[in-house]
């Protein structure tokens, strides 16, 4: 007979234990961009996924303490840039490596302005332009639902960037 799951863990989970557990879940890496002109900003995320195909809808989660959060909330748009395995430099910059903030994160890469006004990364595996449809604020994060307005990129070409165990990598699927 199987043991109940509750007997296998501590009675009260803490943030560090959960963070350590979730580092073991390998996820695809995307850069979420938002803003126009000098207000442009963005973040690196493994929390971007398709919520629905009919109608086409994306879901991203953003820490409300992030400098990107007020821009997404105010501009009501975002772009999910699905990164290629060789774009670790972009992922690191948008994660704040080297102290890059705001528009500085866009340096050393080519960008196009999408219909929403958000920036799409040239050479990304996919660029998904969204208008904010709904925001659900819970605890430290906002769950942002985006109506997909455009999809571009080298769809199907190349290997995606993944993140797990505290580092970037790639998976070759067979």
pLDDT of residue 2: 52
Q: Which band of pLDDT confidence, cut at 50, 70 and 90, is reported for residue 114?
A: very high
Task: Give the Cα separation of 158 and 82 in Å (integer).
Answer: 11
CA atoms of 47 and 22, how far apart (whole Å): 12
Task: Say how far residue 115 (Cα) sits from the centre of its chain.
Answer: 19
Mean model confidence pLDDT for the chain: 91
Domain ranges of the chain: 28-163
Domain 28-163 - what CATH class? mainly beta
Secondary structure letter of residue 159 according to DSSP: -
The predicted pLDDT at position 108 comes to 95
pTM of the full structure: 0.89
Positive/negative CA dihedral, 75, 129, 46, 53: positive
Summarize pLDDT for 23-39 with one digit per residue, the tens: 888 999 999 999 999 99
Q: What is the pLDDT of residue 158?
A: 84
């Amino acid at each position: 007979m199987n043991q109940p799951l509750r007997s296998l863990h501590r009675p009260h989970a803490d943030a560090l234990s959960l963070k350590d557990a979730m580092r073991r879940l390998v996820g695809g890496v995307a850069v979420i961009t938002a803003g126009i002109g000098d207000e442009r900003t963005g973040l690196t995320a493994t929390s971007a996924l398709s919520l629905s195909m009919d109608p086409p809808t994306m879901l991203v989660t953003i820490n409300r303490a992030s400098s990107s959060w007020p821009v997404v909330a105010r501009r009501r748009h975002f772009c999910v840039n699905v990164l290629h395995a060789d774009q670790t430099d972009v992922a690191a910059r948008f994660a704040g490596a080297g102290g890059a903030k705001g528009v500085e994160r866009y340096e050393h890469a080519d960008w196009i302005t999408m219909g929403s006004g958000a920036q799409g990364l040239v050479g990304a595996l996919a660029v998904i332009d969204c208008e904010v449809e709904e925001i659900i604020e819970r605890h430290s994060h906002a769950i942002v639902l985006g109506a997909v307005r455009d999809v571009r990129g080298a769809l199907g070409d190349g290997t995606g960037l993944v993140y797990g165990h505290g580092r970037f990598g790639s998976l070759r699927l067979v």
